[in-house]
Amino acid sequence: MVSFREFAMIADSDYDRTHRGFRGKHLLLGVSSNFTVLSLIVHQTVHQRNQPKGNSPMARVRTGSIEWRNGVPYARVTFKDATGKRKQIKRAARNKSEAKQKVIELLRMIDDGLERVLASHQMTFADLVAFHLTNYVQPPKYSPNMETKLSGMRSHDSMRYLVQASADFFRKRLLRSITYTDLELFKSQRLDTPTQYKRPRAVASVNRELSTLRRMLNVAKRNKWILTNPFNDGEPLILQSQETRRERILTEDEERKMLDLCTGRRTHLRPILLTALDTGMRRGEILKLTWKEVSLEERLIYVRAFNNKLMKARWLAMTSRLEEALKILFDHSPKDPDGLVFGIKSNVRSSFRWIKRELKLLDTRFHDLRHTTATTLIREHVPLQEVARILGHTQVQTTFRYVNSDIETARRAAEALNNAKKSNPLASPNDFQRGNGHTSS
C-alpha cells in the first residue's frame, strides 16, 4: 500500500513550476486482489505565452499513478492529447522509488507538451513506413516551367521497392526497440537473399536499401519518435568500398566496331551512340532530346533540368563527327522544334543488345559509354571538376568513381616511369655516400 506521504511527494515535486499551479487535488485510493493504485488527478491550467487575446486557456487533465502487478511496480499516466483523445502510458520500475520518479518524469513531459514523445513509445516500424510513404514517396510536382521540382520524388516507384525490404523485415517491431544489432542482422539477411532471378544480391543493392532505411529513421528522429538513429551506434554499415566497381570501358577499336555495325535496320543507333560517347549524356537525356534544345549553328546541346536525374540543366558542346551526324538527321526530319531528335526510341535497347552479341561484349551496358567518356576526358588532362560539370554531377566524388583505370592506362603509367628514369637515372652507391657525407678513401 502506498502511503499518503509518498503520495504527497509525488504531488509536491511537480507543484513548484513557473507560472503554473494546481486547480484541484483529489486522492483516490483503491485496493483489489492483485494491485494497489494511488493516483493523483490534477486539473492543471496550461498557460501559453503566445496565446491570442480573447481565448481562454485550455485545461489539460492528466493522471499519474503507481500500480502493482504481480509484485512489479509500474508508473502509469493517463492524459488527453491535443485532439481530446484519452491515452495511457506505462513504465515498469525496479522498485517504488523508481516508479515514483517515472511518474514525475511522465507528468512533466505532458506538461511540456510532449504527448507526441510519449505516444512514440507505442509506435511501430509499420507506422513509420506508412508515414514515409504518405509524406515522402509520392509522385513529383513541378513548377510551371518544369525546371524545378517542388515536392515528391521522381523515383517514387523504385523507392517503394526499397522501402518494402525493411518493412518486411521489421514489420510491427516497436520503433524504439530497433537496435544497431538489428540493422546488422537486416544487412546480413539481405546479402544472403538471392534476387528474383536467383542471382547473388549485390552489395550496392543492399547499400541502397540501407540508405533508405537510414533516411526513414532520420525522419523518425526529427519527429522525436526515437531518441537516436541506431545507425549512429556502431561502425558504418554502408560502405561503398565494399561495392564491386565496374572497370568496363570501351577501347577505340571496340568503339569503331560498334559504330560500323550501325547499318541497315540499325542505322538509327549510330547518332545515338555518337551522342553518348562524345557528350557523356545519359540514355534518358539522349532519348528525350528535342530539336529546340540543339543549336547546330553554335554546336551546342542544352540538357534540360527536367530531363536529367539531378534536375540540373547544363550545356554541352558537339564534336565534329557528332555535328555531322546531327545535321544529317535534321535534314531528314520534319523540322519540328518540339520533335524528338532521334525519333522513335522503342527499339534502342534491343538494337544495342544485338550489337553486343555480335561483338561478344555481353558485359557492356549502355551506361558504360558514359564511363568511357569520363575516362577519355581524364586521359586528355581535362580537370576532374570540369568533367563533373560535363557529366552533370554535383559532387566530384561521383565523377571520380566513373574514371576507370584500364590496361592501357597502366601501360602508359609504366612508360611514363621509364621515361622519368631515363632522364633522371638513379644515383650510384658512391654518389649516395657522397650525398650523405661519406667519401671513399
Give me the mean pLDDT over the 195-218 stretch: 94
Instruction: Give the pLDDT band (50/70/90) at residue 214.
Output: very high
* pLDDT of 43 over the 50 cut: no
List, in sequence order, every residue forming a beta bridge with 314; answer none if it has no partner: 303
129 pLDDT higher than 80: yes
* 340-365 confidence digits (pLDDT tens): 999 876 688 899 999 999 999 988 99
Mean pLDDT for the chain?
A: 79
Res. 114: pLDDT tops 70:
no
Band (pLDDT 50/70/90 cuts) for residue 54 is: very low
Phi (first) and psi of residue 72, to 5 degrees: -110, 125
Domain edges within the chain? 4-48+57-119, 127-242, 252-408
- Residue 439's pLDDT band (cuts 50, 70, 90): very low
pLDDT band at 13 (very low <50, low <70, confident <90, very high): very low
Q: For 215-265, how does the pLDDT look when each residue is reduced to its tens digit (9 = 90+)?
A: 999 999 998 888 899 999 999 999 988 887 766 889 999 999 999 999 998
As a whole number of angstroms, the distance between CA 252 and CA 175 comes to 54
| CA neighbor of 330 nearest in space, from 321, 338, 342, 318 | 342
pTM for the full predicted model: 0.61
Per-residue pLDDT band at 368 (split at 50, 70, 90): very high
The fold of the 252-408 domain, in CATH, is hpI Integrase; Chain A (1.10.443)
pLDDT of 8: 40
pLDDT at 404: 61
Q: Is the pLDDT of residue 12 over 70?
A: no
269 touches 352 (CB < 8 A): yes
Question: Is 80 exceeded by the pLDDT of residue 423?
Answer: no
Count how many Cα atoms sit within 13 Å of the Cα of residue 95 in the half-sphere of its side chain: 1
Q: Is the dihedral of CA 102, 104, 107, 109 positive or negative?
A: negative
Residue 63 to residue 71: CA distance in whole angstroms: 22
Cα–Cα dist 76/99, whole Å: 9
Question: Helices 4-13 and 96-111: crossing angle, nearest 10°?
Answer: 30
pLDDT in tens, 163-201: 999 999 999 899 999 999 999 999 999 999 999 989 999
With 50 as the cut, is the pLDDT of residue 80 above it? yes
- Topology classification of domain 127-242: DNA polymerase; domain 1 (1.10.150)
Least confident of 134-143, 187-196, 212-221, 276-285: 134-143
Percent of the chain clearing pLDDT 90 (strictly above): 46
- Cell numbers for 301: 546541346
Query: Which of 105, 28, 116 lies closest to 67, judged by CA?
Result: 28
Q: In terms of DSSP H, where are the helices of 149-247?
A: 156-170, 180-192, 203-222
What pLDDT score does 23 carry?
A: 36
* Whole-number pLDDT of residue 205: 94
Distance, in Å, from the CA atom of 60 to the CA atom of 39, rounded to the nearest integer, reads 16
Cα dihedral value 317, 320, 324, 326, nearest 10? -20
Rounded CA separation 428/242 (Å): 44
> Cell numbers of 244, please?
564491386
pLDDT at res. 9: 42
Is 120 or 390 the better-scoring residue by pLDDT?
Answer: 390
